[in-house]
Amino acid sequence: MAVLLDTAALPRRDRPEAFYAAMMSASVPARVEHEDPHGDVHARMDFWQLGTPDLFRNEGSGMRLVRTPKHVRIGGPERLALAVQVIGSGVFSQGDVDQRVRTGDLMLVDLTAPYDFAWSEHGASQAFQIDYADLGLSVESVRAAAQRLPSSPLYDLVLHHLTVLPSILESLHGTPSADLVGTATTQLVRALLTSAAARDTQPPAMSDVLFARITWYARRRLADPGLSPTRIAAEHNISLRYLYRLFAEHHLSLEQWLISERLKGAARQLAEPASRRRPIASIAAGWGFLDAAHFTRRFRQAYGMTPQEWRRR
């Protein structure tokens, strides 16, 4: 577990800025508003990396997160979050749906679209964040499931799993089992969303299986600057045209997906204490960015700040 923020050790005047920086490092860009910005702003944020997915817990004073269309246009990882409200209650809005989220409720957030979430006084939420590519479901299926989560027979099972997950991960800290828990949780979330989306949901097509294999292959070779669409297609015995069509069916651009995945890896490494003295250009090259200026430009587009600013925060 990494403690991203504990405002108890900070002067009050520094807390809002520290809260914003920690929130942006754990999730996608959004506007942060505090219920009482001049009062007792307090929070603690904990973060567990579980392979590709992660678990993020935020507890603190009243606040509001607003992800606007402008934030969405900036770009960023194609992700969603399945969250459980563990303290207090909140109000969540996305699309045309407004939802009261009470203690013990699950909330599905499409992080590729605008949303608004807030709680008053004191609250806490913990979210399992996962890439769409790992989940293997279309955006349409996920959005359909968001409206019908309680109808799934798996709802209570997933709710209990996410609620107790932090205590389980504490006992597995530093072991390979933590990543396996991430993989198992991903499959459990997929089963929940599939069952909630529609009764007549079809089993995964062969193209979905191939897509999962390709994304797995590419993620293991992101540091290789020679990883190209042509090479990926050849390794999987498919045409370049079919490769592009496969990603288009999942509402993704292959080149942009590769850049996004490499940026995520670089962002994680920049935040690691062990890499603090390593030059940013060296980290960029290690994730396939041989042009430091290009890396800085793309990083700023994705995360709203330069790599140097990200490292300092």
Which residue among 175, 197, 219 closes a domain?
Answer: 197
Residue-wise pLDDT for 146-197, tens only, equals 888 888 889 999 999 999 999 888 888 777 788 889 999 999 999 999 988 8
Query: Is there a single domain that holds both residue 44 and residue 184?
Result: yes
Distance CA 73, CA 238 (A): 32
CA distance 194 to 208: 14
Question: The domain spanning residue 176 has which CATH number?
Answer: 2.60.120.10
Helices (H) and strands (E) in the chain, counts: 13, 9
At 201, the pLDDT band (50, 70, 90 cuts) reads very low
- Of the pLDDT bands very low, low, confident and very high (cuts 50, 70, 90), residue 203 is very low
Q: Are 128 and 181 spatial neighbours (Cβ–Cβ below 8 Å)?
A: no
pLDDT given for residue 205 in this prediction: 54
Structure tokens at 292: 């430091």
Same domain? For 53 and 142 the reply is yes
Shared domain check, 154 and 110: yes
> What are 99-115's pLDDT values in tens digits?
889 999 999 999 989 99
Longest dimension (CA), the chain: 61
Same domain (yes/no): 124, 267: no
Check whether residue 115 and residue 72 sit in a common domain. yes
- Domain boundary among the residues 197, 218, 245 is at 197
**Do 173 and 25 belong to one domain?**
yes
> How many domains does the chain contain in total?
2
Examine the domain organization and report whether 180 and 288 are in the same domain. Answer: no
Domain boundary pick from 166, 197, 228: 197
**Helix or strand holding residue 27 (H, E):** none
Domain span at residue 43?
Answer: 2-197
Q: Residue 236 maps to which CATH number?
A: 1.10.10.60
Beta strand pairing call for 43-49 and 90-94 = unpaired
Shared-domain flag, residues 299 and 216: yes
Tell me the per-residue pLDDT of 233-289, one tens digit each, with 9 for 90 and over.
Answer: 999 888 888 899 889 888 889 999 999 999 998 998 888 888 888 999 999 998 988
* 3-state SS assignment for residue 296: helix
pLDDT at 139 exceeding the cut of 70: yes
The neighbour count for residue 235, using CB atoms within 10 Å, is 14
pTM value?
0.62
Query: Is residue 183 domain-shared with residue 295, that is, in the same domain?
Result: no
Residues 112 and 163 in one domain: yes
Q: Verify that 193 and 210 share a domain, yes or no.
A: no
pLDDT, the chain, mean: 88
Q: Does 40 share its domain with 168? A: yes
